Structure formats: structure tokens, C-alpha cells
Amino acid sequence: MNHQLSDLSPEQLRAFVAGQLERSRARTVQLTDAVDTDDLVRQHSRLMSPLVWDYAHIGNQEELWLVRDVGGREPVRQDIDELYDAFMHARADRPSLPLLSPTETKSYVVEVRDKVMDVLDHVKFDGGRELVDHGFAFGMIVQHEQQHDETMLATHQLRTGSPVLDAPAPPAGRRLPAAEVFVPGGVFEMGTSIEPWALDNERPAHAVHVAPYVIDTVPVSNGDYLKFVLGGGYQDERWWSEAGWAHVQKASLVAPRFWEVADGNWMRTRFGHREPLPLDEPVLHVCFYEAEAYAKWAGKRLPTEEEWEFAARFDPATGRTRRFPWGDETPGPQHANLGQRHLRPAPVGAYPAGASPLGVEQLIGDCWEWTSSDFTPYPGFRAFPYDEYSLVFFGPDYKILRGGSFGTDEVVARSTFRNWDYPVRRQIFAGFRCARDPKPSELH
């Protein structure tokens, strides 16, 4: 997908866009049909919107961009724009708004989608509008829906009550050839100028120099993280940054979110199932500060965003930057755990076919990975198509996460994709891997 988008005829591109719209909608419907009306309008956590808000917001963004802007059509429901503007109302306040009911929401999103399919039938991709080039606006809306689906999946994880979601277990893990990979560093091309559906903050491609470093082959597992917990890591100020220590005290953190001890055994709750903590699975639901503290305890550090992308994309044999760790092909089930195919990260070592040329594994899928980097613009950044996509978030308040989780769709999980969040957030499907500076003996 994507590079190849440039090679499609307008009719092929239309069919591709239609397929992507259908796929994202099927997922939205699955996530909202899984619960009853009461659950749809309830706020499961102050961190999250009611599911019905996300649902109507998906439709409203689609209306704004595809019906009104691209299509130049009359508004469907201009009166609700303000209700579903994410900048107007904090998540905690959304339940008290006069939101559309679940029934009204469903008919609204269907009405919008019908108009969008008509717009798609008539749109000229080569009409000279940057917004429509290679179907960008459609791609942006598909990705927006898939990202809200991942947010809704996080709301499902916070919901209490009997389980409503199910999926097969991920593939088995394996013993790794080595726990760490030495990366020689060098100059590589970071970001992209050629992915037609890449968002503004991933652009433009630019040369970056990375010094030699060592990075973990796979994300940190529950078993490894448990050693930090049992070793008193949460009670020892030495491992924490000043801000991290203040937070861990204030929030009384003692372990990752959704972990607990029952009858002397460590358990975790996953979409309503309480199960023994799987030791070989990447740790999930840790905030940036916890990731940073673990890394220090382990004698390491978090990778920078540049180091993460170098490990994921650089091919030392050709000097080229790849689209994905395994090459240029679109992710398949053999490469990565994406798209809610499994409702958990896969055990470490489960995706040898997804390894990068340097031998780093599980970079894409399983869990978002915290990096040490703030969310900043690349040199030559240009806000597109609106400032509120990325520009207003740049700065030291947000940390970058890379790689996507088991809940991220393949249309989003590019190896150039940049996610960002507050360093205290734990409800997202985030884990991490460590990096370190090489020892002199490793440099020769």
C-alpha cells in the first residue's frame, strides 16, 4: 500500500479508498455494537469520552473534511459541530453535553457515509488540490477513524463488567538469538516525503546522524518488569527523574495499571478477563516515567526517537531507509501484531519475519514504545491541512511513542508514524524497550 498508491489509476484508487473506508467502519461498528446502549453513553473513565461521543465525532470529522470541504456539499448537521470539536470540550466534560443518542448517532454516521461514497464517485484526484492528491483527505479520515477505534479499544479495557470482546491468541514466542543488538549508527533518512497518506508531522524526509548505540532486541517483558517491581523499584527514588518521582508518589503507583496480587500471585486484567500475568509478553500500561525508571534501574535508558527509527528502517547492506523493518511490503499477519487481530501483545520472539535488517524485532505492533524524545517538528515542517493536527501540540509537554500496538491498524502503523502523549498516561497500549551507549569494548 501507499507508495504504490501513486501507481494506481483513479479507478483503482477509488476502489482502494472505498475498501479502507469500509474496513474502518466495520471495526467502529464492532466496537460499539459490542456493548448495550447504557454502556455506550456511560463514561468508563474520566480519561476517556463516552463511546457514543467518539462514534459521532468520527462521523462529524468525516462530514467536515469529505462532505463539506472535498465534496463542497451542504452540511448534514452543522448544529452539532461544536459538540464534537475535540478542542472545545475536555474528555471529562463530554458526558454532560447534549450529545446525539446512540440511535441518532448511528443514523447520522450512515447519512454522512452515504454522501461520502457519492463524493468519492465524483472526486477528481488530479484536480490540482493538495488535499485530494492521491486521496489524501480520504486517507486522513480513514486513519482518524482507526485511531479513534484504538481509543475506543482503550475505553473497552477500562470498562468494568463481563467481557464482550474476543480474539484468538497471538503466535507463540521463541528464544531470542541475543537480548540486545549493536547498532553502528551513521547517517540515515528519517521521516518521509513520499508516503502519500503520511501526516504533516512525519514530513519531510531529512538526513539525521545517529551515534553508535545498543538497543533491546524486543520490548521489555512483564517478567523483566516484575523484577523491577519486586526489587522495590517503585520505592527507590534513585531510579526516577524528579518529575517521575513526584508523580509516582502523588499517584501512588506500585505496578503497571491493571496488575494486582491475588492469593500471592500476580494477575492482570485484560478486556474483562483476569488472568495470571504472562511473563513473556511485552509489558503494557506503563507511563513514560515508569519506562524511564525501569531503564535506569536496568543500567540503560530509553531510545531517542531517531534511534528507534534508525533501528526500524536502516538497511546497512544498501544504506537505504526501508518503509518497514522487514522491507517495503504492507504489514501481514506474519510480520506484526496489528489491527486488533489479537487482543494482547504477542510473546517476545513471536515475529521473526518482522525483524529489521539489524535484527531488532517487534518494532511494529504489540505495544506503542515510549521514547525519550519530546514531540517536535522536523526541519522543514509545514502544517497541513490544519494547525490543530500537530502544530499546537509541539513542545516539551508530550513524549513521542513509536511503532503502534496490537490495537493499531496497518493503515496507521507506518514506521514513520509519530504518536504523542503526556508522560503520565497509562490507559494507552504503551510499553517500551531500552537502549544504552556502547561500552568502549563494543566499539573497537
Tell me the binding residues for Fe cation: 57, 144, 148
Enumerate the known binding-site residues: 57, 91-94, 144, 148, 421, 425
Q: Are strands 368-375 and 430-431 parallel, antiparallel or unpaired?
A: parallel
DSSP type of residue 52: H
Which of these, 392, 308, 413, 302, lies nearest to 358 by C-alpha position?
308
Kind plus residue range of the DSSP H or E element containing 443: helix 440-443
Q: What share of the chain is helix, strand, coil (3-state, %, to 5)?
A: 40, 15, 50
Residue type, 56: A
Residue 188 CB contacts under 8 Å (≥ 6 apart), including other chains? 207, 208, 210, 309, 310, 313, 314, 321
Which of these, 140, 264, 286, 279, lies nearest to 201 by C-alpha position?
140
Which of these, 326, 203, 217, lies nearest to 282 by C-alpha position?
217
Q: Distance of CA 219 to CAs 100, 158, 339, 365, Å?
A: 41, 23, 19, 11
Q: What sign results for the dihedral spanned by CA atoms 62, 63, 64, 70?
A: positive
Enumerate the known binding-site residues for gamma-L-glutamyl-L-cysteine: 91-94, 421, 425
